[in-house]
Structures are given as C-alpha cells and as structure tokens.
C-alpha cells in the first residue's frame, strides 16, 4: 500500500488519438485545442472518424487535410463502405493520396437506420471491410488499420467467425487492428490469446474510452460488458460533469496501468476531441512531451 500505483512507469509506450470531424466553428476550435495539446506527446498517428453513412465525407477530408498542412502529425483517415460505390471510394482514396495521406482506417460502417439495422452493400460497392482493404490496396500503397472486437461484433455468429473475419482483413493487406472500447481487460487479453492461436500476429491496439457520459457509453455498448464496479463508480455522477471527468480519468488510467502490466505498450485513445483525460492518462503512464526530459534530439543538441 505504500507504493504509489503509477510509480516508476517509464513511458515506454506508443499512443494514438482518435478525433471526430467538427460540425461547427466552435467545435473546430475545440478540436484544434485538443490536437495542439496532445501533439507534443508525439502520437504514432491521429485518426479522424467518418460519420455514419458517409455523412462527414467532406468534413473528415477537411480535418485530415488540415492536420497534414498544419502539423507534423501522421493522420489516418477513417473510410467506410456504406452508401458508396467502389468508384466513389476509389475517388476518395485518390484524393487522400494526393493530399499526402498514407494511412486509412478501413471499416464496413454501421447500416443507416433506414436499412432496418442490416448492412446492405451498395450494388456496386464493397461487401465489408475485408473487401474494402483489398480494394484500397489495388489503388495505393496505404498503411491500413481495421477494427477488432474483443467482445465480438454484435452481428458475428461467434467469436471464432469474427476472428476469421479479422484475419481476412489483415490477410487482405491491413497491418494493425484497433479494438472497440472495452472495460473488462480480461476480455481483451483472452482475445489476444485467441487471435494469436488463430495465426494473427499483427498488433491489436486497445481502444481506450474514458467515460465522459455514462448513459451514452451504455447506449453505445452493444456487446461491451459494463462491469458492476464501473456502474457503481459512476453512480450519481450524471449531473456532475466536472468530478465525473476526474473519476473517468482515474478509471481509464488504472485500466491502462493494468494493460501495461500485462505487456501492452500501444494505446489508442478515443478522445472525443478533448485532450485533458488522454493527456493525464499518458502522463500517469510516464509519457512526457517531446524534450521534457532533455532526451530528445533537439534539446540534447
Ligand atoms: P467488418 O469487418 O466488415 O465486419 C462486420 C461484421 O460482419 C462482423 O460481425 C463480421 O464478423 C461479419 N462478417 C464480415 N465478413 C463476413 C463473412 N464473409 N461471413 C460472415 N460474417 C462476416 N463506423 C463508422 O461509421 N465510422 C467510423 O469512423 C468508425 N470508426 C471505427 C473505429 C474503430 C476502431 C472501431 C472498432 C469501429 C469503428 N466504426 C466506425 C464502427 C464500425 O463501422 C462498425 O462496428 C461496423 O458495424 C463494422 O465495421 P467493421 O469494419 O468491423 O466490419
């Protein structure tokens, strides 16, 4: 009990941050404030999501382009198969390539509510993410990341079938997977074991979601177990966003500390366009901004 929980963590980790494209000038300012605060942690990449049904096509492109033009960060553009033909996707991919983007997060996407919750491929489109990865590969030499589900995708017939699908995506040319958020680390570790047994050797980055709004998390957690202790931890905090954010940072930092203790060194943060929690967790894991220890080339010189 005398040893501080986070004592001595050397910060030998790599991090990446996910953002969503802003809808208004105010949200744009908030996004850029977050990017500016997190950039000194030198993430391996920063990804920008693609709205359901391709609804943010232009905004995703604009955000990714601004990252290319105004920062030294490596952007990864999310791209989905929903409501787009192969030709339209090729066009989007060409535009990214020309803009200097070299990393795509390739996804099937969720079906629009009008399709009754079932994914119906565009008649000239891709059937799913594995198909999309193969299609992107034909056009450009993108680095490609795909999604993984430690607690199984809700539409999968079994965890084994879902792992087969993940393997297909990697075999088609993706080089890394990023997981859906989870709170039960055991599920993630079991998933890594099963993936390895299925011959998957690519990195599977845990997606870390600090809880900013517990109700929203519950709504989004189709298959994600919400442990009783988590529910109890956030009890009565719905109307207290300030303290709730502090509690959320502690809970997510402790989750990451346990993942670190289990050997994880790569972390992907769902930032929801806010820097504070992701930054605080990185700090507790020992990560420091460039030059803070005087070890970076620029400061050492
Ligand atoms: P796929 O890998 O194609 O799989 C979908 C389902 O079909 C799975 O159940 C799979 O097992 C099953 N399946 C696939 N092929 C077969 C087959 N041949 N036979 C049987 N079953 C099969 N959504 C967005 O709209 N925009 C985003 O920016 C976005 N970013 C995300 C980022 C991450 C890290 C994650 C984890 C998810 C993201 N999503 C995003 C959500 C994602 O689009 C949904 O979860 C979607 O329902 C599935 O996408 P996928 O790429 O995993 O699909």
Catalytic residue from among 18, 28, 225, 254 = 18
250 phi and psi angles, rounded to 5 deg: -65, -45
Q: From ligand 1's centre to the CA of 165, what distance in Å?
A: 10
pLDDT recorded at residue 276? 95
* Angle, CA 210 vertex, CA 206 and CA 216 arms, to 5°: 110
pLDDT in tens, 208-236: 999 888 888 888 878 899 999 999 999 99
Alpha carbon nearest to ligand 1 atom 29, residue: 49
pLDDT recorded at residue 227? 92
Chunked mean pLDDT (size 10), the chain, 301 residues: 85 97 96 98 98 83 96 97 95 96 96 80 96 96 98 95 98 98 97 98 97 83 89 92 94 97 98 96 94 45 32
Q: Which atom of ligand 1 is nearest to the CA of 148?
A: 36
Q: Is 145 in the pocket of ligand 1 (CB under 6 A)?
A: no
Beta carbons of 81 and 52 less than 8 angstroms apart: no
pLDDT recorded at residue 76? 98
Beta carbons of 28 and 58 less than 8 angstroms apart: no
pTM, entire model: 0.95
Alpha carbon nearest to ligand 1 atom 28, residue: 49
CA dist 51 and 163 (Å) reads 25
Torsion of CA 158, 163, 166, 167, to 10 degrees: -140
CA dist 173 and 177 (Å) reads 11
CA dist 151 and 295 (Å) reads 40
- What would the 3-class secondary structure string for 88-112 be? HHHHHHHHHHHCCCCEEEEECCCCC
Q: Is 128 in the pocket of ligand 1 (CB under 6 A)?
A: yes
Q: Is 103 in the pocket of ligand 1 (CB under 6 A)?
A: no
CA dist 233 and 244 (Å) reads 10
Q: Mark whether 18 is an active-site residue.
A: yes
Q: From ligand 1's centre to the CA of 109, what distance in Å?
A: 6
pLDDT recorded at residue 1? 64
Would you tell me how many other CB atoms lie within 10 Å of the CB of residue 121? 16
Assigned token pair, 96: 């990214």
Alpha carbon nearest to ligand 1 atom 15, residue: 165
Q: From ligand 1's centre to the CA of 291, what distance in Å?
A: 39
Q: Is 14 in the pocket of ligand 1 (CB under 6 A)?
A: no
């Amino acid at each position: 009990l005398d040893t501080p929980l986070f004592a001595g963590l050397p910060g030998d980790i790599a991090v990446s941050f996910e953002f969503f494209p802003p809808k208004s000038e105010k949200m744009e300012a908030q996004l850029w404030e977050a990017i500016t605060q997190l950039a000194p942690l030198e993430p391996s990449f920063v990804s920008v999501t693609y709205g359901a049904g391709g609804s943010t096509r232009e905004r995703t492109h604009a955000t990714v382009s601004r990252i290319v033009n105004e920062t030294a960060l490596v952007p990864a553009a999310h791209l989905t198969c929903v409501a787009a033909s192969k030709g339209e996707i090729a066009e989007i991919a060409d535009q990214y390539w020309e803009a200097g983007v070299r990393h795509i997060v390739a996804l099937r996407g969720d079906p629009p509510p009008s399709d009754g919750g079932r994914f119906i491929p565009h008649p000239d489109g891709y059937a799913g993410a594995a198909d999309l990865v193969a299609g992107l590969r034909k056009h450009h030499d993108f680095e490609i990341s795909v999604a993984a589900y430690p607690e199984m995708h809700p539409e999968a017939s079994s965890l084994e079938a879902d792992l087969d699908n993940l393997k297909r995506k990697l075999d088609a040319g993706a080089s890394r997977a990023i997981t859906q958020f989870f709170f039960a680390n055991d599920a993630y570790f079991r998933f890594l074991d099963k993936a390895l047994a299925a011959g998957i050797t690519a990195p599977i980055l845990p997606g870390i979601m600090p809880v900013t709004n517990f109700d929203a998390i519950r709504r989004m957690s189709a298959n994600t177990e919400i442990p009783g202790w988590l529910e109890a931890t956030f009890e009565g905090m719905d109307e207290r966003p300030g303290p709730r954010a502090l509690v959320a940072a502690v809970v997510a930092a402790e989750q990451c500390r346990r993942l670190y203790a289990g050997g994880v060194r790569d972390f992907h943060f769902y930032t929801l366009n806010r820097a504070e929690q992701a930054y605080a967790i990185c700090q507790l894991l020992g990560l420091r901004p460039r030059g803070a220890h005087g070890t970076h080339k620029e400061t050492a010189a």
